[in-house]
Amino acid sequence: MKKLQNTLYINTEGVYLHKENETLVVDGKDEENKQVRLLKLPIHAISNIFCFGNIMVSPQLLGFCGEKGVQLSFFDRNGQFQARVIGRQQGNVVLRIEQMKYAFSGDLRVVKNIVAAKIKSSRNVLLRQIRTYGEAQDLKQAAESMKLAFNKIKTLETKDLLRGTEGEAAKEYFGVFNSLIRNESFTFNNRNRRPPKDPVNSLLSLLYSVYAKEISGALQGVGLDPQIGFYHEPRSGRDSLALDLLEEFRSPIIDRFVLSLINRGQVEPKDFNLDSIGGVFLTTEGRKKVFEQWQAKKLEIIEHPFLHEKIPIGLLPHVQSMLLAKFLRHDLDNYPPFISR
C-alpha cells in the first residue's frame, strides 16, 4: 500500500520555494522585512505542493519535483487553478495503450459505474441527514427521485443519456442542499461557479479543484494518463480521467466535508471576500483554516467497500486509480467505483 504522504499548501504570498540537497526549503520575510527560513522538509515526505497567489519557485526545485514525482500546482489567490508541473510519465506504455483503446471502444461499463456511484452516494448523503435529524419531506422526495435515476442507469446506452440522468439527479440533490446546512450564517440557493457567488459554492469549487489535482497525481502514479477520460470529453489541458473519478468523491468526501466545516462553525462569513466581479472567495486566513481541516480529514480511517480493508481517506484516489488500472489490464472483470455508506 502506498504510504500516505502529505500535501503542502503554500498560502503566504511572497515566499520563495527552492531546494537544498534532497530537501524543500521555504523562505520568507519577517516583520522587519528580513529573510527567514519558514520551513524545511525532505522531498520524500511530500506528494503534492499547492501554491496560492504570488509564490516564487526556483527552476531547480521545479526539476527536482518532476524527478521525484511530486506534483506542483499553482492557483491564483482566489483558488482558481492556473497550471501544474509534472515529471516524466510513469508506468508502462502497454497500460496507456489499453486505456486509449478502452476510451474509444464504446464500452460504457466504467462510465455507468461512476455515474451510478455518484447518484447513490449523493442519495446516501440525504438519507444520512434524515436518519440523524428526522424525516424531512423535501429530502425524502429528492431521495426517491434520485433512486429512480439510479435505477435507470443500467438501461441507458449512450453517454448523452447518462449525462441527462446524472443532471436530473444533481438537480434534485442540489435542490435540497440548503436543507443540509444547519448554520444560519450560510445559505445555498443553487450550484454556481466561475466565479462562485456565495461562500458555500466557493468552498465546493475550491475543494473540487484541489481534489481533482490530487486524483491526477494518483492516476499518474499507477501509469495512467489523466487526460484520457471515458466520461468527460477530451479537451486540451483538461485532466478528463481525473474529472471522471472525481464524480465518485464529490458528495461522500467533498460535500460532506464542506457541510461539516459549515455546520461545526469551523469557517465563518468573515473568512470570505467579495471580488470586483461578484465572486466570493476564501481569504488567506480562511484557506489556512480549510486546509488544516482537510489534511486532518484525509487521515481519517474508513473501510473500503470493495477491498474491505481499512485505509485513510487520503489514499482513496490512489486505491481507485489502482483498481481502474487493474480493470484495464483485465485483472478485474469490472471497475468497482467508490460508494459511501
Tell me how far apart the alpha carbons of residues 18 and 64 are, in angstroms, rounded to a whole number. Answer: 9
pLDDT at 89: 64
- The domains of the chain, with CATH numbers, are 6-85 (3.100.10.20), 93-328 (1.20.120.920)
User: Using CA atoms, how far apart are residues 126 and 246, in angstroms rounded to an integer?
Assistant: 19
Phi and psi at 73, nearest 5°, equal -120, 145
254: closest CA among 210, 223, 192, 315?
210
Per-residue pLDDT at 41 exceeds 60: yes
- 259-317 pLDDT per residue, tens: 999 999 999 999 999 887 788 999 989 999 999 999 899 889 999 999 888 888 988 99
Sorting pLDDT into bands at 50, 70 and 90, what band is 198? Answer: very high
**pLDDT (tens digit, 9 = 90+) per residue, 163-195?**
999 999 999 999 999 999 999 999 999 999 888
Angstrom distance (rounded) from CA 122 to CA 244 = 16
Taking alpha carbons only, the member of 86, 53, 48 closest to residue 239 is: 86
316, 308 contact by CB (below 8 A) = no
Q: How many CB atoms lie within 10 A of CB 96?
A: 16
In the chain, what are the helix, strand and coil shares in percent, each to the nearest 5?
50, 15, 35
Of 36, 43, 81, the residue nearest 61 (C-alpha): 43
Calculate the alpha carbon distances from 311 to 5, 221, 336 in Å.
Answer: 13, 18, 16
- Cβ–Cβ under 8 Å, residues 168 and 158: no
Residue-by-residue DSSP string for 34-95:
-EEEEEEEEGGGEEEEEEESS-EE-HHHHHHHHHHT-EEEEE-TTS-EEEEE--SPPS-HHH
Whether 5 shows a pLDDT value over 60: the answer reads no
Q: What is the pLDDT of residues 312-339, one digit of tens each?
A: 898 899 889 989 999 999 999 999 999 9
Q: Which has the closest alpha carbon to 75: 180, 174, 191, 207?
A: 207
Which three cell numbers mark 98?
A: 489499453
Tens of pLDDT, residue by residue over 78-135, are 667 777 777 766 667 899 999 999 999 999 999 999 999 999 999 999 999 999 888 7
pLDDT at 45 over 90: no
Q: In this model, does residue 212 exceed pLDDT 70?
A: yes
pLDDT of residue 200: 96
Q: For 46-72, how does the pLDDT look when each residue is reduced to its tens digit (9 = 90+)?
A: 877 888 888 899 999 988 888 887 878
pTM of the complete model:
0.83
For 105, the grid coordinates are 471502444
Question: Using one digit for the tens of pLDDT, what is the confidence trace for 217-257?
Answer: 888 878 899 999 999 988 877 899 999 999 999 999 999 99
Find which of 8-22, 97-111, 208-222 is predicted with most confidence, using mean pLDDT.
97-111
The answer to whether 61 touches 17, Cβ cutoff 8 Å, is yes
Distances (CA, A) of 248 to 116, 117, 245, 337, 339: 9, 6, 6, 7, 7
| Half-sphere exposure at residue 3, Cβ-oriented, CA atoms within 13 angstroms | 7
